[in-house]
Amino acid sequence: MKQNKLKKGKTNIIGITGGVGAGKSAILDYIGESYNARVIFSDNVANDIKKKGYPAYDELIRILGKDILDEEGEIDKKKMAAAIFGDEKLLTAVNNILHPAVNTFIINIIDSEREKGELDFVFVEAALLIENGYKRFVDELWYVYADEDTRRSRLKASRGYSDEKIDNIFDSQLDDKTFRENADFVIDNSGTLDDAKKQIDNKIGEWKAKWQA
């Protein structure tokens, strides 16, 4: 395991990543409930920045048109997905709007929480955390691991995905070796959630014991 980089007296920023089906959301729900921490889900941010009043809203309407809006004038996710479907250039254009906007939004939250200094941690969850260069902004990167069979079973049970769809998703994501090479800490979530919680408690417990000594 790599050296603990967390420090006393500051808001430590921790990136959480891992493959689909690894159980990141359940782990982050536990952390948010159990520690003096704020949890940021990148998918939630991506939804927020598409709302009226945010720059991404105007940019998306500019390239996709007003047909993607609902009756209240907000962007409808299904209509937007339909407008993009099958058009790689359009998908790239949308991602070029959303990814920088999400990054900026999250970095602003990080800066704000660091300035206030009221929290021990800010946890940032993003499937593309490594690819989007978040290692530059976080103090540690934690990788939530689960073996492939476990992830596959979870995706079938919770989302009804077919094996073909799961294979396509797995192929599009980073492999285990790359995740581990970039991680400061690995949470094995192949078993029960209680097992994963113990790993987190031990990690944060070691950090607290170190700075309280």
Q: What angle do CA 108, 109, 111 make, to 5 degrees?
A: 65
What is the pLDDT of the chain when averaged over all its residues?
A: 91
Residue 1's pLDDT is 46
Per-residue model confidence as pLDDT tens digits over 128-185: 889 888 888 899 999 999 999 999 999 999 999 999 999 999 999 999 999 999 999 9
Q: What is the pLDDT of residue 4?
A: 61
Q: Is residue 189 part of a domain?
A: yes
Residues 130 and 175 in one domain: yes
User: Is residue 3 scored above 60 in pLDDT?
Assistant: no
pLDDT at 203 over 90: yes
Give the domain extent around 62.
44-112
**In this structure, are 203 and 123 located in the same domain?**
yes
| HSE value, Cβ hemisphere, 13 Å, CA-based, for 35 | 25
Pairing of strands 185-188, 140-145: parallel
Please tell me the predicted confidence (pLDDT) of residue 137. Answer: 85
Please indicate, yes or no, whether residues 26 and 66 belong to a single structural domain of this protein: no
Residue 27 · residue 187 · CB < 8 Å:
yes
Could you tell me the pLDDT band of residue 123, with boundaries at 50, 70 and 90?
very high
Asked whether residue 151 is domain-assigned, the answer is: yes
- Report the alpha-carbon distance of residue 202 to residue 196 in Å, rounded: 10
Q: What is the pLDDT of residue 91?
A: 92
Q: What pLDDT, in 10s, does the model give residues 86-117?
A: 899 999 999 999 988 998 999 999 999 999 99
Q: What distance, in Å, lies between the first and last C-alpha atoms of the chain? A: 22
Q: Are residues 200 and 138 in the same domain?
A: yes
Is there a single domain that holds both residue 135 and residue 95? Answer: no
Q: Where are the alpha helices (DSSP H) in the chain?
A: 24-34, 42-48, 55-64, 77-84, 88-116, 148-159, 163-172, 176-182, 193-212
Is it the case that residue 49 has pLDDT exceeding 60?
Answer: yes
User: In the block, which residue shows the tokens 């996710």?
Assistant: 77
Domain count across the chain:
2
Average pLDDT over every residue of 33-50: 93
pLDDT of 72 strictly over 60: yes
- Say whether pLDDT at 2 is over 60: no
Same domain assignment for residues 130 and 107: no
CB 40 within 8 A of CB 123: yes
